[in-house]
Structures are given as C-alpha cells and as structure tokens.
Structure 1
Amino acid sequence: MKRLLITGAAGNLGKICREGLKGYADVIRLSDISPMNPAGPNEEVVPCDLSDRAAVIELTKDVDGIIHLGGISIEAAFDDLLQANLAGTYNIYEAARQNGVGRIMFASSNHAIGFHERTTRLDDTSAQRPDSLYGVTKCYGEAMASYYYDKFDVETVSVRIGSCFEKPLDRRMLSTWMSPGDFVSLMKAIFTAPQTGHLVMYGVSDNTAKWWSNDHAEFLGWKPKDSSEQFRAEIEAAFAPEDRHEKATIYQGGGFAARGHFED
C-alpha cells in the first residue's frame, strides 16, 4: 500500500493505529480537527473538518485505503452528530468514490446493537438495535457502506468496536474488550485481504465471555491473540457484582442503553 489515510488520528484509536501501523504503508496520512503531533518519517499530517466536502475530497486524493475513525465517539446532541458523524461519513464515501479509493474500514460501534440483551449471541445477521443517537449514526454509517459497495464497488469492513483500551476498565469490558494489538492486526488483515465486499464484524478480542461471533469473517484470516481473562481477578476485586435487574446489565450497550434521551 502506497498511502493509507487515518481519520480521527488524534483520538485513542487513531493514536493506536498511528503507532501500530508504522511501516505498513509507504506513507500514512493522518487527519483530524484536533491537534496532532508533527509528522514523523513516512507520515503526512493534514488537518481536515470532515463536514467540509471539498476539503475531504482533497484529503482523499492519492489514497489507497481509509481507516475512518473520525467523528464524535460518545453520545451527543443530534446537531453535533449530524455534522461530524452523518455528513462527515457521507463525505468520506463520496470522496472515496470520486477519487477511486477501493476500500474503507468504517469504525462502527457496539452501540449500533446495544439494545440486544446480553444473553443473545450476535453475528452479522443480527438486527441493528442502537442504544443512543450516537449508535444511530453508526447504523447510518453501516448503511452508507452497504450502499457504496452495491452501487459503486467501494469495499468496506464495518467494525462494531467493543472497548479498545490497554486493559478492561470494568466488568462489562470483560466481554467487550479489544486489545490495541488485536485492533492493529485487524486493520492489517482488512487491507491485506484480496476482497472484503461489505462486511460487518465485531471488534473484540478472544475473550471467554464474549457476546459476538465473527465466524462469518474467518476468510479475512484474522485471529485475535489476546483475552480479557487475564484481567478477570483484578476487575472482579475492584468492582462489585453487577445488578442483573439494571438496564445497564441487561443490555449489551451498558450505560448507553440505561441513560435517557440525550436531548431531554
């Protein structure tokens, strides 16, 4: 790969990719509206507001692949999500079409399916059940990815990311955790695969108590190496058992499913 674009490069996942993908492409183009560290060897730093379509079209020129992490990654007011997550995602796909970018990794979220109960094991055929306005924007992004593949042959792997940190931060994350190393190896697998079509899969490590299946995505050749089990004793000692009657425990989206409507 000659040039790989990472949007949202100033965020947590963007920083993980920037470090973990060094040398994967001849040039990594890093973009965000937030401040980023200066460009290092084989890097380009290009600030861009994803709601500015003309700027996004310029940003995606001479790019072979896009890791699209940009946008608001928490619950927020609809008007804010409208620009960052809805208009921004459309602009990425339309720019990719115009500039001939063949493959995108779209950072979807477990909050696109957060109103499924934890007792339900999910795969790519499971219905979208967003737990928040933020989750709704991720459902929209998956639909946009499907449309641009069917209509224009722009391939996408929509990754419903769980919780990507150095280690789980609470009991829920024993099921949703994805290690930074597994996230980086998944990014490499996505852009190495001969073809992907539009694939919806889950961004999760090989945890013992996971709720999601990636059996349908085995053709990528990606096998997570890490598991949250190594942190179980530490987490269970630090956090009281969850109340099984609470919405945050019943639903896979946790606190996102339990909270009221953001606009109220």
Structure 2
Amino acid sequence: MSGLPGRVLVTGAAGTIGTSLRESFLAKIAHVRLSDIRPVGQTAVHEEFFEADLTDLDQVRAVVRGMDAVVHLGGVADEAGFAAIKGPNLEGVYNVFEACRLEGVPRVVHTSSNRVTGFYTADRKLDGLEAARPDGLYGASKAFGEALASLYADRFGLDVVSARIGSFEERPTEPRHLHTWLSPADVARLYEACLTAPVGIGHVTIYGVSRNTRSWWSQNAAASALGYEPEDDAEGFADLLPPYTELYQGGLYTHYEYGGWAARPGASRIP
C-alpha cells in the first residue's frame, strides 16, 4: 500500500461527507484544498478553500492543478429533474476527469452511489460487478460517472476508485439502513483506503458500506485489495427498527413519483 498523498483536492467539501472527512483522516494530509460553490466554514492551517463551479472546466482545472489526488464529492446528491442533475452530475464529473487528465493528477476517488443498483431486488447479494440498474436519474448520473471512470482508466491510465456510498448517517434511523448504513468512522476508513491503494489499480468499484450483518453488498476481489475494513454494524440498532418490506433495494427511490419529475401521465399538476 502507498501512503497518503501530500496534496488532495476535495470537491463538494461543504457537504455532509466532506465535513465529516475534514474532521477525521483529512487532518493527516499535509495540504488539503477544499472546493465548493458554498462556503466551507473556518479552514485549518493545512487547508485552503477555492470556490469553483463543476460545470466550468477552466475553474475545475484551476483547483485540480498541483494536486496528487482528488476526492470528488461534488454534485446534486439526490433525485431531481434532468435540468438540475445534468450540469453538476454529468458535465461536472466529466470536467473532473478531464481536468485530472490535462493537469496530470493520477488518482480520483469518485463518489458514486448505491442508487446505481437500486432496482435489484432485496433478496440479491451484489458485489459491484453487476450491470447498472439505477433507481432514478440520480443513480443513472452516477452510472455515467462510473463509465467515465472506466474510460479514463483504460484510455489515459488514471487510477479511479468509484465508491458506491450507502446510507451515510450518524446512526440507522429507518429499516433500509440495516442493509445500507455507512457510519462516520467507516466513511473515513473507506476514503483513506481509496487514497492509499496501490498505484496502477485502474478503475475499481467498491460499495461504501459498514460491516452490516444484513448488508446487500459484498466486495469483489479487486475492491478487497484496497484494504477497506469497515468495523461498524447496523445490527446494533435492529431492535429499534421494523423489518424492510420493499421489493427493491432502492426502496422509495424506485417509486414512480419520487423526485417530483415523473408525474404519471394524465395526473393533474399544480402550477
């Protein structure tokens, strides 16, 4: 395993995962560049903040320049209409990979989502090698990002880990979380493992999930080689939650109207 890179860019640094990582293992990195279109709050001695819009390649190149690795967290983080998603999640992820190619940054930790496979049934065990079955436009945009990651790894030699994040929560609060929970401590272990993985891994897909007894997801052989070893288990909260009863792993995210952009044909619309 290689050590932590000395200079790391974090896009979407104002979000929940970015904030959590800043409070954990990112403090061990010599220089952390934080980027977002929102303020990130007070910066530490080893941090700097650059405002940048993911849809502007020149801005993305500027924040990527001089970095050893990029943790890409930026983008729309839940289901929305195509107009909202296409800029940050489609053009934005392209700009990150293209900027890394142009600026010679060798590694990206690409934040994908379990929503790439939301339409697999809850009785299936997945390891990340299955075909994408996204549960909405958000999941489809993350599948697009994974396809780009594969392209940039195969064609340009970029090392990319696509981390399909589960339910990142302080603690499980709903039945689905018993299968999908990712704890704050384990999210730090996950991203540290991704950044310290061996050079030359190409593109690897890994499920970002804690060590849940009821997990729907295991790690494939390539992902296991990254050294991610989660420790927390949602089972400790099982007595507080009812069982999961949805057909699909995506649960409510698979429902026809979820996200508000796909009203049923003929349904009345409120102006």
Quickly name the TM-score band, shorter chain normalised.
Answer: over 0.9
Match of 2:188 among 160, 170, 184: 184
The CA deviation at 1:234 is 2.2
Aligned counterpart, 2:206? 201
User: What letter corresponds to residue 204 of structure 1 in structure 2?
Assistant: V
Match of 1:66 among 51, 61, 70: 70
The CA deviation at 1:79 is 1.3
Aligned counterpart, 2:230? 224
The CA deviation at 1:259 is 3.4
Of all paired residues, the percent bearing the same amino acid is 42
**TM-superposition CA deviations, 1:61-90 (whole Å, max 9, x none):** 011111101000011110111101000000
Q: How many residues are matched?
A: 255
CA contact (8 A) 2:10 2:35 kept: yes
SS of the aligned residue for 1:105 comes to strand
How is 1:15-164 mapped onto 2 (pairs within 5 angstroms)?
Answer: 15-164=19-168
Q: Distance in 2 between matches of 1:54 and 1:263?
A: 34
TM-score in terms of structure 2 length: 0.91
SS of the aligned residue for 1:250 comes to coil
Q: Distance in 2 between matches of 1:5 and 1:87?
A: 18
SS of the aligned residue for 2:160 comes to strand
The CA deviation at 1:107 is 0.8
Q: Distance in 2 between matches of 1:169 and 1:85?
A: 27
SS of the aligned residue for 1:221 comes to coil
Q: Structure 1: where are the runs of 5+ without partners?
A: none
Runs of 4+ in 1 over 4 A off after TM superposition: none
Indicate yes or no: 2:268 matched with 1:260. no
CA RMSD of aligned residues (A): 1.2
**TM-superposition CA deviations, 1:104-133 (whole Å, max 9, x none):** 111111111000001011112211000100
The CA deviation at 1:263 is 4.1
Q: Distance in 2 between matches of 1:178 and 1:28?
A: 23
Aligned counterpart, 1:213? 218
CA contact (8 A) 1:38 1:45 kept: no
SS of the aligned residue for 1:40 comes to coil
Q: Distance in 1 between matches of 2:60 and 2:6?
A: 19
Q: Structure 2: where are the runs of 5+ without partners?
A: 264-271
Q: Distance in 2 between matches of 1:139 and 1:3?
A: 28
Q: Distance in 2 between matches of 1:132 and 1:7?
A: 23
Q: Distance in 2 between matches of 1:176 and 1:183?
A: 13
User: What letter corresponds to residue 213 of structure 1 in structure 2?
Assistant: S
Q: Distance in 2 between matches of 1:232 and 1:215?
A: 26
User: What letter corresponds to residue 33 of structure 2 in structure 1?
Assistant: R
TM-score in terms of structure 1 length: 0.93
